[in-house]
Structure 1
Amino acid sequence: MLAAQAALGQQGWSAATLRAMRARHGGAPVEVRGLSGPLLVLLDQADVRRFYELPVRTLALDAPDKYRALSLLEPTGVICSHGDTREERRRVNDEVLAADRPVHPSCEEFRAMIAQEAPALLRNSELDFPPLRRTVARIVRRMVLGDAAAGDEELARWLLAIREESNWMRMRKRRATAAEALYRKAAARVEEYAARAEPHALTALARNHPAARGPGAAALDAVGQAHHWLLALDAVAPIVARTLLLLAAHPAEQEALRAEVDGGGAELPRLRACVEETLRLFPVVPDLLRVTRAETEWGGVPYPAGTAVLVPALFHQRDPEHVPAAHQFVPARWLRSGAAQDIRMAPFSHGGGRCPGEHLGLLTAALLTAEVLRGHRVTGGRPAVDPCRPLPGILASAGIRLTLAPR
C-alpha cells in the first residue's frame, strides 16, 4: 500500500490540498466529508494546541471508524475504552510501560535480548527488510510475552489475520465474526505465556499489577493490553530500517554517533534524536483522529457531541511555513530544550492521548539501531536518498535494502 501511495505521490498532493484549504479558509477549521460523516480538519496551530490540551473525556480517542477497526484487534485496549475504564487501563499501561521513564526498568533484559537476536541480521554485507522484520518480531514477542514466545509464528499469523480484517472496519460481518473467534484463541495463548513469563516481560508486569488482582480485574484485562503492545512495537522494524537508510545518506551524522554507540549506555540521546526525526518525517500514525463527547467550539463555531476531529499530523510536521528544513533529516532539532513538547511535531501525539509506549518504543528502536552501528557502517541503501534534496513524502520500508561494511 505504501509503495503504491509513494508511486502516486499521495503525500505531496495531500499536503498541497491541505495548504490550499488553509489559504482559502484563513486557517479556520474545515469540515469535510469523511467515511462515516462530517470530519473537522484542524489546520491552524492554535486549534492543534487546543486539540492536545482538551481532556480525553471531552475529546476521546475512540472515534467510530477507529473503534470499528481496533475493536477486533484489541477490544479491551485503551483506545477502545472511555470513562473510568479507560483511565484505569491507561494507568496500567503507563506503569507497565514506564511511560515517564526514558529507560525502562527492564532495559538490561531487553538490551540482552536485542544483543542475542541482532547477529542474525549482520551475517552478510546487505540487510533487507524481511529479515529485519522477523528479528524485530522475535524481540518484541520476548519483550512482551517472554522468551518462550520468541518463535511463535502461529500466534503472529493469527494476529496478522485479525489486523488485516480489522482494516475492513467490520463491514464483512462473517469474516469479522471469524476474526473475533481468532482473537479469543490468540488471547488465550497470550494468557498462557503471561502465566509463565520471566518477571521482566511486559505481560508478567501487567499480570502482577495491583489492579490485575482487584475486584475489577476481569473487566480491566491487564494482560489483554499486550495486544496493543505487540501491534505498536511491530513498528520498530520500519522505523529502524528508515533510520539506517537516512544515516547512510548522512555519513557525518552516522560518524557523530560513534562515541555514543560504542559507549554502551542505554540513554543514547543523539541516536534517539535520529529515530525521532525519522518519525517526524515518516510517522507511524500520520493523522490523529478524535471524537467529541460534549459540545465544543472551534473557530468560534459550536459543534455537537459526536463530531469527528482530525489533526493531519504529518502535514503539520512537514509544514515549511512553521517547521524549518521541514523536508530534511535534521536530528539536532530534537536535542533542543522543549522539543518533546513542541506541538508542531507529534510522532507520539501530546496531552492525554500521548502514547504511553513512547519511551519504550524509542528505546527499542535505538538499541537495535545501535547494535547494527556498533560493528558496521551503513555505506549505502536503496531506495537512494539524496541529502541535498527534499525527502520523499512516503518511504515504503518493504523495499529498503542497506549495504553494511565492517568498522
Structure 2
Amino acid sequence: MTQSTRSTRTTQHDGPRGNGGRGTAVASPALNLRLFATHTLPVFVRGFVSPRPRVVKAYAALNQPAWAAATLRALRGRHGGAPVLVRGLSGPMLVLLDPKDIRQFYTEPVRSLAMDPPDKDNALKVLEPTGVICSHGELREGRRRINDACLAESEAVHPSGKEFRAAVAEEARRLVSQRVVDMEDIRRAMARINRRIVLGDAAADDEELHAWLLALRNEANWMGRRKKQARAARAVYARAQARIESYAMKAAAHTLIARALGQDDPQGDLDPVGQAHHWLLALDTLGPTAARTLLLLGAHPAEQQAVVPEAASGVADMPRMRACVKETVRLFPIVPDLLRLTRAETTWRGVPVPAGTAVLVPALFHQRDPDHVPAADLFAPGRWLSPGAHEAVQLAPFSHGGGHCPGENLALLVGAEFCAEILRTHRVTRGRPVLPSAGPLPWLLDSAAIRFGLEPR
C-alpha cells in the first residue's frame, strides 16, 4: 500500500450518499477495475494525443463515453461526491467529482499542481519538447509569456484579426461552391488556414509538414512506451522544426511565428519558434470543431437562423456564433480529461495528498452532468450569453486558472469566422451522422463521418 493510500484511507467517507462527502475516499477494487475498463483503458486505446479514426468510429457507435460517465456517477454516489483515490496507469490518482473540488483544482498554482504528469509529459515531449506543457518553473513562465503575447490571450479579437479573418474567409469560401461538404474538405481548408496563421501564406500548401506533424502525434499516442521508435520520431521532429524555421525567416509580421520572433529571450532558452508545434497542434482541432458546429446547426434550424444576421454583419466579434462554437466544445471537448500532478503536498477537504499524485478532472463528465448543468445533453449555445457563464467551474471548454488555454479567443475567432462565412450565403442541411433536434445528443461523434449539404439562401 502506498503512503498516499494509507493517509487517505484513514479519512474515507462511508456516510450516507449525497451529503457532500467529508475528507477523501479510496475506490474499492471493483470500482477501480471498472474505472480502468470504462475510462482509463479506452482513453489510451482511442489515442492520448491524436484520436485513432477506427477506434473513434467504434466508440461513437457504442456511445462509449457514456459508460465512463456511468462509472464516475457510481463513484460519486458511493462516496458522496468526495475526491476518490484510484490506481492510475502511473500510480495513485485523485478523481474530482464535485464542483467545489474542481474550483480548488483551478485555483491551485501550477507550480504545485503541474500540468505534466508522466504519461502526458512523455507523450507531448515527442511533439513539443520545448513547449510550455513540458516545461517547469521559470522556464515554463517564460514560455507561457511568449504564448500569451503571441496569441493575444486577453483580447477578444487578435491584433492580427483582420489578416486572420481574411485567410479564413478565403479558404472557407472555396467550400460553398460544393453541394456536399465532408470532414476531409473541412480538414484541408482548416489546415491551410492554420498554416497561414502560424507560418504565413507560403506554408498554405505544405501538406508534407502536416504529414510529419501527424506522424509525431500518432507516435505521441504511445506516451514514450515504444523506445525503438524514439530515434525516428526525433528525426521527424528535426525535419519539421527545420521547415518551420525556414518559414519563420520570411513570415509576414501578422503571423504567430513572426510575433514569436519579436519576443524577448534574454537567456536564449525559451525557443520561441519551437512553440509553433503546439499552435499547429491546437489549431488543427478546429477542423473537427467547425465540422461538429455546422452539423449541430444543421440539426437545429432555429439556432442556425439565429446566427445568420450576425454572420451577415461581417463584424469580427460575433458573440452568438462564438457561443455556438463554445457549446460544441462543451458537448464534444477537445480535451475530455484534465490531468495534473502534485509537485508539492496539497490538501483536499482537509486531507494531505503527497507530491507525485495525479489529479484528474473528467471534464466531459462534468460538462454533461445533469446534476449541475441545465440541459446538459442538449445543444444550447444561449447558455454562454448569460452573465457569469464563463466562470462556471463545471463548464470548462478551454479550462480555467493557470492552465487556461491562452488560445481560447483566437480559436473562437477562427472557428466562428469559418462557420459564419459558410452561413452568410448557404444553409446547412442533410447532415450525417443524423442528430436529434430536440432529444439528448450522443457523447461522441465520429468526426470522420461528418458530411452535410449546402443550399443557397
Structural mapping, 1:8-157, within 5 Å: 8-157=62-211
Structural mapping, 1:165-244, within 5 Å: 165-209=219-263, 211-212=264-265, 214=266, 216-217=267-268, 219-244=269-294
Whole-angstrom distance in 2 between the partners of 1:392 and 1:265: 33
Q: Write the letter of the residue equivalent to 1:161.
A: A
2:430 pairs with 1:405: no
**What secondary structure is seen at the aligned counterpart in 2 of 1:290?**
strand
**What secondary structure is seen at the aligned counterpart in 2 of 1:143?**
helix
Whole-angstrom distance in 2 between the partners of 1:207 and 1:37: 40
How many residues were matched structurally?
Answer: 403
Structure 1 residue 269: Cα displacement: 0.4
2:296 pairs with 1:266: no
1:326-382 per-residue CA deviation (whole Å, 9 max, x = no partner) reads 000000100011111111100111000000001001111000001110110112200
Whole-angstrom distance in 2 between the partners of 1:181 and 1:38: 34
Structure 1 residue 396: Cα displacement: 1.5
Whole-angstrom distance in 2 between the partners of 1:7 and 1:298: 38
Structure 1 residue 120: Cα displacement: 2.4
Structure 1 residue 35: Cα displacement: 1.3
The equivalent of 1:313 in structure 2 is 363
Which of 271, 289, 296 in structure 2 is aligned with 1:246?
A: 296
The equivalent of 2:342 in structure 1 is 292
TM-score by length of 1: 0.98
Q: Write the letter of the residue equivalent to 2:88.
A: G
2:389 pairs with 1:335: no
1:181-235 per-residue CA deviation (whole Å, 9 max, x = no partner) reads 21111111111101100110100000111x14x2x12x10011100000000001
TM superposition outliers: structure 1 runs of 4+ over 3 Å: none
**What secondary structure is seen at the aligned counterpart in 1 of 2:177?**
coil
CA RMSD, aligned part only? 0.9
Structure 1 residue 91: Cα displacement: 0.6
The equivalent of 1:353 in structure 2 is 403
Whole-angstrom distance in 1 between the partners of 2:230 and 2:146: 28
Q: In the alignment, is the contact (CA less than 8 A) between 2:298 and 2:431 conserved in 1?
A: yes
The equivalent of 2:326 in structure 1 is 276
Q: Write the letter of the residue equivalent to 1:121.
A: L
**What secondary structure is seen at the aligned counterpart in 2 of 1:377?**
strand
2:74 pairs with 1:4: no
**What secondary structure is seen at the aligned counterpart in 1 of 2:174?**
helix
**What secondary structure is seen at the aligned counterpart in 2 of 1:297?**
strand
2:374 pairs with 1:324: yes
Identity of aligned residues (%): 62
Structure 1 residue 38: Cα displacement: 1.5
Q: In the alignment, is the contact (CA less than 8 A) between 2:323 and 2:384 conserved in 1?
A: yes
1:284-328 per-residue CA deviation (whole Å, 9 max, x = no partner) reads 000000001100112332111111000000100010000000000
Deviates more, 1:35-44 or 1:295-304: 295-304
Specify every segment of 5 or more residues in structure 2 that has no aligned partner in the other structure, as ranges.
1-54
Whole-angstrom distance in 1 between the partners of 2:324 and 2:304: 10
TM-score by length of 2: 0.87
**What secondary structure is seen at the aligned counterpart in 2 of 1:362?**
helix
Structure 1 residue 171: Cα displacement: 1.1
Q: Write the letter of the residue equivalent to 2:258.
A: A
1:143-186 per-residue CA deviation (whole Å, 9 max, x = no partner) reads 00011100111111111111100111111112122101211111
Structural mapping, 1:367-406, within 5 Å: 367-406=417-456
Deviates more, 1:338-347 or 1:296-305: 296-305
Whole-angstrom distance in 2 between the partners of 1:9 and 1:284: 17
Q: Write the letter of the residue equivalent to 1:318.
A: R
**What secondary structure is seen at the aligned counterpart in 2 of 1:163?**
helix
Structure 1 residue 82: Cα displacement: 1.1
Structure 1 residue 3: Cα displacement: 1.5
Whole-angstrom distance in 2 between the partners of 1:206 and 1:44: 39
Whole-angstrom distance in 1 between the partners of 2:79 and 2:200: 52
Whole-angstrom distance in 1 between the partners of 2:228 and 2:258: 34
Q: In the alignment, is the contact (CA less than 8 A) between 2:91 and 2:357 conserved in 1?
A: no
Structure 1 residue 119: Cα displacement: 2.6
Q: Write the letter of the residue equivalent to 1:155.
A: L
**What secondary structure is seen at the aligned counterpart in 1 of 2:424?**
helix
**What secondary structure is seen at the aligned counterpart in 2 of 1:122?**
helix
Whole-angstrom distance in 1 between the partners of 2:349 and 2:60: 34
